[in-house]
Amino acid sequence: MTEAPAPTYETAVARVEEIIRRLDSGEAGLRETLELVKEGRELVEYCAGELEAVSRGLEELRLEELVARLEGGDSGAGE
C-alpha cells in the first residue's frame, strides 16, 4: 500500500496529481486502480476540507481579543 497520511495541503495535492497521472497512463491493473482511487478520494476530501476551512468567511480579530479569548479558556481560536 502506498497510502500515507497527508501532513500538508501541498503534499496531498502533489500525491493526488501523481495518482491521477498513474491512472491516466492506463498501466494500473484493477487492484492498483481501486487502491489508488481509494487513496485519492481520501486525499481529495482532505484538500476540500482544508479549502473549506479558509473559505467560510473572513474573521478579523485583534491580537488582544484573541489572547483574551485563549486565556479565558475559549477554544474558539483552535476550532
Q: Which residues bind other proteins (CB under 8 A)?
A: 8-10, 13, 16-17, 19-20, 23-24, 30, 33-34, 36-37, 40-41, 44, 47-48, 50-51, 53-63, 66-67, 70, 77-78
Compute the least distance from the CB of residue 73 to other proteins, in Å: 15
Compute the least distance from the CB of residue 1 to other proteins, in Å: 17
* Separation in Å, CA 36 to CA 13, 39, 47: 14, 5, 16
